[in-house]
Amino acid sequence: MRIDSNQGAQPLQENQNSAQVPARGNPSATASSALGEDQAQLSGVHGQIPALVQQALQFPEIRQEKVSALRQAVLGGSYQSSPGQVAQALFDHMVAKLAA
């Protein structure tokens, strides 16, 4: 296939089998009946969201006692972790983030 940018636009030929919209009347009603109607169904899970939000809000955003203990261990030089532990923690974090 070759595209010639110097050639002007050509009108599209109408398909003989396509549905004709009458000149008078409601064209959207005719089109929707020809194509069918969109439908959506919601599950009952959406009702649980407010309860889960309230439950999550009860937990502190930052667990200060754990942060302080970890800070002291790092500053004191007593915090030890293996490369495997670090890799596993990163992997677990990524998996949890994708699942959310």
pLDDT score of 60? 81
pLDDT digits (tens, 9 = 90+) for 43-68: 778 788 888 889 888 888 888 999 99
Dist. CA 81–CA 43, nearest whole Å: 44
Within 4-82, where are the H helices?
27-35, 49-57, 64-76
Q: What is the mean pLDDT of residues 56-81?
A: 91
Token pair of 64 as six digits: 């200060």
CA 25 vs. chain centroid, Å, equals: 40
Dump the DSSP string for 33-49: HHH--------GGGGGH
